[in-house]
Amino acid sequence: YKILIIYHINKQKIYKMSFYNKFLFFIILINEAFSARNLKMIQMAIRHGARYANNPQVIKDKPEYKFNKQKRGQLTSVGMLQHYNLGNLMRQEYIVEKQLLSDKYEFDSVFAFSSNVNRTLQSLQSFLFGLYPLRTGLAIPDNLDADLQQAPYYQYVQQQRQQKTGNFIYDNNLKFALPEGFYPYVIQQDTDNHSILQFICKPSKAKLKAESVKENTGKLEEFYKQFEKQVQEIGAKVNINYTLNVSNVSAFIDWVTSQRYLGITYNITLEEYKLLNYIKTLYKAIIYFTPLQTKLILTPYFRFLLKQFESKINNQNTYKITIASTHDTQLQPLMAVFKLMSNECLLSYNLQQESETCQLMPIFASNFVFELYEDDQDKQHYVKVKFNGKYINICNGQDTCVYNDFKALLTEYIQEDYSSYCDDQCLPQDKQSIFWQISFWILLAIILIILVVYLYKIRNIFRKNSVQAEQIKIESNQQL
């Protein structure tokens, strides 16, 4: 079937070939048809779902301010639903269709980790609930003693509360451990001492931002003047009582966007939303994503990504999927790396025309998927990348890249002297490197102790010899 498709596509060219070239073409065609690239692993980077505004001070004079201040930055029900739906789509593609993953959760096949923020943690939980939905959890053993199903929570035997044992039995006669066969997913938390999923990078982050603001404020003000009247009209719809400018428009856009996902539109049109999104995209690109900032943001994640792929290639990794729950701060630089946007194209952006190579900032639940394939004949490895479910060109205009070329592309964005900008704690260290560091300091301590003991003994010998020499001198003087 594959041969027929390729033949049909190229039949006009084949007719014009010489007999020898036709023969070579069909040899290559047959080889291609019977070779296959097997999907070995995928890695995902996902922005959290819809949230409450990060900047509720936009409406500080309004009654709803207190509520939104309490909910600041928290995941909404819509954000949960977005990630559940995304997980369900991934289940259909990578479990049902491509059969990469088991249809039941296996902890040694799935590595899920999140930044240390509520909205990313809850987004990842929602995603996993879609990837492994109800009735895919674990059953308890048959003939298990009822007493062993209870936690040891007793006050007095005579006063035990009535214990209601869950009886989660379904048509397949399995008795699940948790209601509806729910599975308590394992989620690793990327702590504040790391920068894999959230740009922490002390002490340079604040300094780099301040430098960027100082250098680019004038450029942004000139850019903003083009749309100032339209933005003020949108501000009037929201009924704010202050003037929008370069310094506060980003917070305003965040408010409007977050409210839209709560069903509050303020009668703002889709064209106006796109304008606001464009302004914020360019603002963030210029202030937060200079070439150096982009490298510092992506270095920890790219190191993680390549390490996981290479350990898989070397059969040292059981994971079939890694899922990173993160922020737009990580995804927008990724878009720049893979030529989905750039500062140059944004400065001449056409609001009326969509472009695959000049997209706006990643919306809630946007995602990258990195797929690792292995050729079953030559064992060569390849990578394909999807953004929001669509394969993108990554190497020489092709959507498939030899692994070494993919690695070279990512390596260009790894800052080798990362630790000179960011605290060393920002870099994730593997156990082996920590072992050698500890061993080095222990060995150094032992050497110092031996040296001190040796010097102490030398000093004692010297003092003893000095005393003996002094005694001999005294005895000689007495004899004289």
Give the pLDDT score at 167: 57
Give the pLDDT score at 478: 59
Which residues, including other chains, have CB under 8 Å from residue 84's CB and lie 6 or more apart? 126, 127, 129, 130
In the chain, what's the furthest Cα-to-Cα distance?
Answer: 125
- For the stretch 285-300, pLDDT in tens is 999 999 999 999 999 9
The C-alpha atoms of residue 319 and residue 324 are separated, in whole angstroms, by 13
Give the pLDDT score at 345: 93
Whole-prediction pTM: 0.79
Give me the residues paired with residue 326 across strands: 47
Angular region, 53: left φ>0, alpha ψ -120 to 50, beta rest: beta
SS3 category, 405: helix
Mean pLDDT of 233-253: 94
Mean pLDDT of 202-224: 92
The C-alpha atoms of residue 263 and residue 261 are separated, in whole angstroms, by 5
| Pick from 369, 367, 347, 368: nearest CA to 358 | 347
CA 297 from chain centre, in angstroms, equals 11
Is the pLDDT reported for residue 55 higher than 80? yes
The C-alpha atoms of residue 42 and residue 218 are separated, in whole angstroms, by 43
Question: Among 40-54, 90-104, 411-425, 454-468, which stretch is predicted with the lowest mean pLDDT?
Answer: 454-468
The C-alpha atoms of residue 201 and residue 76 are separated, in whole angstroms, by 28
Measured CA angle at 184 (ends 324, 429), to 5 deg = 40
**Residue 393: is it exposed, middle or buried by C-beta count within 10 angstroms (0-12/13-18/19+)?**
middle
Which residues, including other chains, have CB under 8 Å from residue 220's CB and lie 6 or more apart? 246, 282, 283, 286, 287
Helix (DSSP H) and strand (DSSP E) numbers for the chain: 15, 8
Between 180 and 153, the higher pLDDT residue: 180
Q: Which range has highest mean pLDDT (171-185, 241-255, 446-460)?
A: 241-255
- For the stretch 139-161, pLDDT in tens is 888 888 877 877 776 654 544 55
Task: Take residue 293 and report the two structure tokens written for it.
Answer: 């900032």
The C-alpha atoms of residue 217 and residue 233 are separated, in whole angstroms, by 23
Between 400 and 143, the higher pLDDT residue: 400
* Kind and range of the H or E run holding 298: helix 291-313
The C-alpha atoms of residue 43 and residue 322 are separated, in whole angstroms, by 5
The residue type of 136 is T
Task: Work out whether the CA dihedral 454, 458, 464, 465 comes out positive or negative.
Answer: positive
Q: What is the CA radius of gyration of the chain?
A: 32
Mean pLDDT of 163-179: 65
